[in-house]
Amino acid sequence: MLLLQFSTSHYCRKARLGLGYKQINYKSENLTPGLHILRVKPLTGLKTLPVLLPQVVGQPDAIADSTAILKFLETYQTEPPLFLPDHEQQAEAWMLEDWLDESIGTATRFVYYQFRAGEGKQIDPSLLSQTVISVVRQQYGINQASVELAKNRLVTAFSELSIRWQRNDYLVGNRLSVADISAAALLSPLALIPQYRQGYPWLFERIVQIHQLCNEPLPPGL
C-alpha cells in the first residue's frame, strides 16, 4: 500500500494511526503542497490528502479522505478491529469522528497556523516554511477573528473529551475506535503551543498513549 501525504498534515497522521493500529505494511510518499494536485486530482477527483493507494488486486485504485481510509482498512483487515461491536456505540463513534474531522481538525489548523506565523515563528523561520504558512492562512481565511472562533470550538472539544477520557480510557465503548484515532491525530499539532501543552496535560498524555497503541512516532512537541 502507498499513502500519499503531506508529512506534517494532521489528517494524514490520522490515516497513519489507522494503518499502524492494524499493523499493515505501507509506504508513504510525501507530496509538495500545490504540486500535489497534479498527482491527486486525476486519481480521486479531489485535491486533498491523505490518499491511500491499496495496490492490491481486487481493491480500489485510490481512496481519498481519512474517514474513507479508516472504513477501507476495517474491511481490508478486520483484526484488530477499529469498529465497536455495539451498533449504537459505533454510530456514536462515527458522530464524534465527523465532528472532530469537520469542525475540530479545522479549528486546530486555524490556531496552529496563527501560532506558527506569530509567536511560534522560530520553530521554522525559513522563507519556504513561512511562505507555506502564509499561503495556508490565505487559502483558509485564517485571521485574528476566525482564530478566536476556532479557539472557542477547541474549548468545547476539550470539555467533551475530558469528560469521556476521564470516565474511561476510550471516547466510546471499551476499546480504541475511530473517535480516539481522530482526536489523537487532529489535536496533535497543539502540542507545539505552550498554552495548550501546559493547560491540558491529560490530553497530550492520551495522544501519546494512542500513538503508542498505533505504533506511530510521536508528533512534534511530544
Among the listed residues 7, 38, 47, 60, the single contact to ligand GSH using CB under 6 A: 47
Cβ at position 78, least distance to ligand GSH in Å? 22
41 is an interface residue for ligand GSH by CB under 6 A:
no
In angstroms, rounded to a whole number, what is the distance separating the alpha carbons of residues 191 and 183? 13
* CB distance 159 to 119 below 8 Å: no
In angstroms, rounded to a whole number, what is the distance separating the alpha carbons of residues 38 and 62? 15
Among the listed residues 17, 44, 65, 113, the single contact to ligand GSH using CB under 6 A: 65
Cβ at position 201, least distance to ligand GSH in Å? 26
DSSP codes, 53-100: E---TTS-S-EESHHHHHHHHHHH--SS--S-SSHHHHHHHHHHHHHI
Side by side, which strands form the sheet with 27-30? 27-30, 2-5, 51-53, 63-64
121 is an interface residue for ligand GSH by CB under 6 A:
no
Nearer to ligand GSH, 30 or 162 (CB): 30
9 is an interface residue for ligand GSH by CB under 6 A:
yes
11 is an interface residue for ligand GSH by CB under 6 A:
yes
Part in contact with ligand GSH (CB under 6 A); list of ranges 47-55, 151-159, 172-180, 210-218: 47-55
**Which residues of the shown chain bind ligand GSH in the complex (CB under 6 A)?**
6, 9, 11, 47-50, 65-67, 101
